Amino acid sequence: MQPHLDLAPLPAPVRPDPVRDRWAAPMRLAIAEAALATATGDVPVGALVLGPDGTVLGRGHNEREAIGDPTAHAEVQAIREAARAVGEWRLTGCTMIVTLEPCTMCAGAIVLSRIDRVVYGARDEKAGAAGSLFDVMRDRRLNHRPEVVPDVLAPDCAAQLRAFFDTHR
Ligand SMILES: [Zn+2]
């Protein structure tokens, strides 16, 4: 008789994908940036803006609680820092790396900043605006549509969020 094993169901395996996998290293930096948010009780979301050559122009983590600003999402903070670094509002040729699917506000900010690529980790089924609830960045009615690369290190990004909510409930 086989010993009884009480295993939790495993998540579906993520198949290798060269386009997605090349963004794993910067996503690890975004996960490290997200971890900074928890010190102030903020939900751990982290974002980077990479220049066309891959250098980090801006980084940000969710600071809504830290500074009492409802718009202080990781993506907005990273866009502001990158625009200061570049010296103008256009972030043409840049890539946004973010641990959680952007909300409608952040998707709007990404379109307005002319960022050309968005790479995200975990999907946000309740509020995501990059394919889940809305698909703002690929809406053909808008005149700027960045490339969207979802699911990069999604299990790691989701685990970081889950760990936060498990201890802040
Ligand atoms: Zn947002």
CB count, 10 Å around CB of 70?
Answer: 7
Segments in the chain forming alpha helices (H): 18-21, 24-35, 64-67, 74-86, 104-112, 154-167
What CA–CA distance (Å, rounded) separates 84 from 22?
Answer: 27
The rounded Å distance from CA 100 to ligand 1 centre is: 9
Short-list 79, 42, 41, CA closest to 60: 79
Q: Is 47 helix (H, G, I), strand (E, B) or coil?
A: strand
Q: Global pTM? A: 0.89
- Residue 8 gets the label, from left (phi > 0), alpha (psi -120 to 50) or beta, of beta
Reading the chain (169 residues) residue by residue, the pLDDT tens digits are 455 556 666 666 667 788 788 999 999 999 999 999 999 999 999 999 999 999 999 999 999 999 999 999 999 999 999 999 999 999 999 999 999 999 999 999 999 999 999 999 999 999 999 999 999 999 999 989 999 999 999 999 999 999 999 998 7
Short-list 69, 94, 70, 66, CA closest to 82: 94
Which residue out of 75, 81, 125, 147 is catalytically annotated?
A: 75
The rounded Å distance from CA 138 to ligand 1 centre is: 17
